[in-house]
Amino acid sequence: MNDNPREHFQGPVRLRRGQVNHETHDQKLLDSRGPSDWVHTDPWRVMRITSEFVEGFGALADLGPAISVFGSARTKVDHPWYAMGEQLGRELVEAGFAVMTGGGPGAMEAANKGASQAGGVSVGLGIELPFEAGLNSWVDKGINFRYFFARKTMFVKYTQGFVVLPGGVGTLDELFEAVTLVQTGTVTSFPIVLLGVDYWSGLVDWIRDQLLGNGMIGEKDLDLMVLTDDVSEAVRIMEKARHESATNPPQRRGQWG
Ligand SMILES: C/C(=C\CNc1ncnc2c1ncn2[C@@H]1O[C@H](COP(=O)(O)O)[C@@H](O)[C@H]1O)CO
């Protein structure tokens, strides 16, 4: 046995004997030919995922106070919920907020339209879908994401609150993500308003009867969502939370936060 084997270091990795390979990373990079299916491998995906975070953080870092608006992609232009979305976008801008939506049609478009027409910052965080969707024409600052989870991070990181218009499973997913983050203290002082009392009250009643009734949530968790038909009240709740976090900023998290 050789007591003094050849050694080679690749970053933190130490290689000996048969593991030593003298081809450098540069050589491998510049020499690479052949099949290209490696672009569909997980390590390569990690780079794409990382780039979505880098692009998102870069584009939104200077956004200022913003509110996320969620709601159905299917709300028709002539429906009262569309008008509600437009009013919401407009009043949020008048209160000094940027408006962030999923950048799609329906309720998202309505909120973007209201925000853009009021001269505010109208943001769309779009998502690549199996069918052609694209950003609605009222998005003035848009980012198209490949990955839902990267996009969700942007909604949470750059928002001061959530307003939820009537919607389907996508809207419910976003609503409950927000509720979970607030309930677990992962984000602090984020108001969540549900617009449309008739539409949402069945869900809120079920949460009270079943979740609270069976001890799945605590009494105070019921207060995490405010239910109203009044757009201006929703905006006032967002303003109040902004004022509170300005006068009493949330404590900095520990070293991992
Ligand atoms: C269904 C159609 C287009 C879908 N296009 C979308 N573009 C951007 N964001 C979307 C889209 N669909 C869903 N979302 C996200 O989920 C929420 C709406 O989902 P729901 O199931 O319609 O409630 C919304 O807040 C978006 O963030 C063609 O009509």
Q: How many Å lie between the centroid of ligand 1 and the Cα of residue 107?
A: 9
Rounded to 5°, angle at Cα 123 from 46 and 63: 85
Q: Does 139 or 13 have the greater pLDDT score?
A: 139
- Domain membership of residue 54 (yes or no) is no
- Domain membership of residue 83 (yes or no) is yes
Query: pLDDT tens digit string along 114-161?
Result: 999 999 999 999 998 887 678 999 999 999 999 999 999 999 999 999
Q: What is the pLDDT of residue 32?
A: 67
Report pTM. 0.85
Q: What is the pLDDT of residue 17?
A: 76
**Atom 15 (ligand 1): residue with closest C-alpha?**
170
Interhelix angle 80-94/231-247, nearest 10 degrees: 30
> Looking at ligand 1, which atom is closest to the CA of residue 106?
29
**Atom 28 (ligand 1): residue with closest C-alpha?**
73
Pocket test for ligand 1, best of 67, 125, 127 (most atoms within 8 A of CB): 127
Q: What is the pLDDT of residue 153?
A: 95
> Looking at ligand 1, which atom is closest to the CA of residue 70?
25
- Domain membership of residue 13 (yes or no) is no
Query: pLDDT tens digit string along 189-210?
Result: 799 999 999 999 999 999 999 9
- Domain membership of residue 96 (yes or no) is yes
Domain of residue 158, CATH code: 3.40.50.450
- Domain membership of residue 10 (yes or no) is no
- What integer best gives the mean pLDDT of the chain? 89
- Domain membership of residue 6 (yes or no) is no
In angstroms, what CA-CA distances link 115 with 111, 139, 165, 167, 231? 6, 9, 15, 20, 14
C-alpha 155/C-alpha 217 separation (Å) is 25
Which tokens sit at 74?
Answer: 């299917």
Q: Ligand 1 in contact with 1 (CB < 6 A)?
A: no
Pocket test for ligand 1, best of 146, 171, 173 (most atoms within 8 A of CB): 171
Look at residue 256 and tell me whether its pLDDT is greater than 50. Answer: no
Q: Ligand 1 in contact with 170 (CB < 6 A)?
A: yes
Q: Ligand 1 in contact with 124 (CB < 6 A)?
A: no
Number of domains composing the chain: 1
ipTM entry: 0.92
Q: pLDDT band for position 36 (50/70/90)?
A: confident
Q: How many Å lie between the centroid of ligand 1 and the Cα of residue 37?
A: 31
> Looking at ligand 1, which atom is closest to the CA of residue 169?
21
Structural domain span for residue 117: 64-244
Query: In the β-sheet with 98-101, what is the strand arrangement from edge to edge?
Result: 141-145, 122-127, 98-101, 66-70, 162-164, 192-195, 225-228
Look at residue 241 and tell me whether its pLDDT is greater than 90. Answer: yes
Q: How many Å lie between the centroid of ligand 1 and the Cα of residue 170?
A: 6
- Domain membership of residue 234 (yes or no) is yes
Q: How many Å lie between the centroid of ligand 1 and the Cα of residue 238?
A: 23
Q: How many Å lie between the centroid of ligand 1 and the Cα of residue 86?
A: 17
Phi and psi at residue 190, to the nearest 5°: -110, 105
- Domain membership of residue 26 (yes or no) is no
